[in-house]
Amino acid sequence: IHGGAYRTGQGAVPWYNGAQFAHNGDIVTVSINYRLGALGFTDLSRFGEDYATSGINGILDQIMALEWVRDNIAQFGGDPDRVTIGGESAGGFSVCTLLGSARAQGLFQQAIPQSGGAQHTLTVAQGELVADAFLDAMQTQDMDGVLAATADDILTAQTRVDETLRGALGTVSAFYPVEGSAILPGSPLMAIRDGMAANVAVLTGTNKDEATLFIQGKVDAEKLAKEAGHYGGDQALIDCYQGLYPEMSTTALSIALSTDYTFRVPALRLAEARAAHTPHTWMYLFSWESRTGHLKATHALEIPFVFNNLNKPGVSIFLGKGEVPEALAEHMHAAWIQFIQTGNPGWPAYDLSSRKTMVFDTESALVDDPDAGKHDVWREIR
């Protein structure tokens, strides 16, 4: 399931080419598209039963794709009883949302949310706020006006809403799956904490420096304090990170906070939520650093390693100059194949005592709790 902040993207990106999975693991790869932005995630249920699930149109598209796989994948050599769903960024968010949706249960046996998390949804009230803003931007208060709009009208309104509300919502996009329908009655994380999808094996993780892709300019102390407040923290959050990383500039601290708030902590919460019900969760941390600019182990960089597609267009720009890290790509690709084939990537599962995590780098290693020192400060925040 492709990423793109629930606003952009498509399944035919060369980085997602599954040829290496087919060649090396006899695995059939299916990439999908789903409705995005306002068309995929605006809760217009106020206009009647026909729009009761409009806030999760994109998720329903994904469920329909999984039903297609169930009904047809045998014709392509696949096994409908051995389905693994995977996705990165908003695709990873989607995987976690599907883990927490009763409607999706039974359609897959394994899941790989990369840079995902089960906390990327909107409450009913937040969904109403987005819908109000969207209708205002469309200059209409009824469905006749919405249905009469052109694609350009919708995109213009979508951009305006996103720019206005994204920061206030604390999300990467104003258009997120909205809770409150029969398909997604509440928080996916809470459903998973209650035991949903406990029979599904999960491989999850994030990249060490996700936010370098989004934070380009310098961040001073004042802006850092505002950022911590925006996340629901205070000076204690900044003090914690300054204690853990005394050598970091305020900009680097901002990148670390944003990385953890948006990606790492939600991945940890997913693993923790499952720990009471199942031992079948595995954690990774991608730490290999790009030689391009300040990217380091940035958002999405792990994708061509997982798919063993370092030769695809655009990858070299992210890798930077120097030796191509083929050995790491082969290592990660093999681990993903092993997980897809067996339900185990080849290292100990994640538990709340040791929190064993595979750190992928030039020299990969199994590490106990690479997030030590952060757990307490985030517990009441995220």
Q: Within 13 Å of residue 248, how many CA atoms lie on the same side as its CB?
A: 22
Check 45, 89, 94, 173 and give the catalytic one.
Answer: 89
- Give the residue range(s) of CATH 3.40.50.1820 domains in the chain: 206-382
Sequence-distant (≥ 6) Cβ neighbours of residue 176 within 8 angstroms: 6, 41, 93, 120, 121, 122, 169
Check 299, 302, 333, 364 and give the catalytic one.
Answer: 299
What percent of the chain has pLDDT above 70?
100
Residues written for the chain: 382
Contact status, residue 1 vs residue 87, Cβ threshold 8 Å: yes
Q: Is the dihedral of CA 134, 139, 144, 149 positive or negative?
A: negative
* Residue-level pLDDT at 90: 99
Quick one: tokens of 132?
Answer: 């109000």
Annotated catalytic residue 330: no
- As a whole number, the mean pLDDT across the chain is 98
Contact status, residue 250 vs residue 171, Cβ threshold 8 Å: no
Compute the distance between CA of residue 90 and CA of residue 300 in angstroms, rounded to an integer: 11
Fold of 206-382: Rossmann fold (3.40.50)
Residue 179 has pLDDT above 90, yes or no: yes
Annotated catalytic residue 375: no
Check 179, 210, 289, 302 and give the catalytic one.
Answer: 210
What percent of the chain has pLDDT above 90?
98
What average pLDDT does range 314-341 have in this prediction? 98
Annotated catalytic residue 94: no
Compute the distance between CA of residue 244 and CA of residue 342 in angstroms, rounded to an integer: 37
* Residue-level pLDDT at 9: 97
Compute the distance between CA of residue 137 and CA of residue 154 in angstroms, rounded to an integer: 9
Residue 33 has pLDDT above 90, yes or no: yes
* Angle between helix 250-259 and 221-230 (nearest 10): 10
With bands split at pLDDT 50, 70 and 90, how would you rate the model's confidence at 3? very high
* Residue-level pLDDT at 355: 98
Nearest to 96 by CA among 256, 339, 274, 258: 274
Q: Quick one: which H or E segment has residue 367?
A: strand 365-368
Q: What is the pTM of this model?
A: 0.97
* Residue-level pLDDT at 380: 87
Contact status, residue 102 vs residue 109, Cβ threshold 8 Å: no
CA distances from 155 to 7, 9, 150, 187, 355 (A): 10, 15, 9, 28, 43
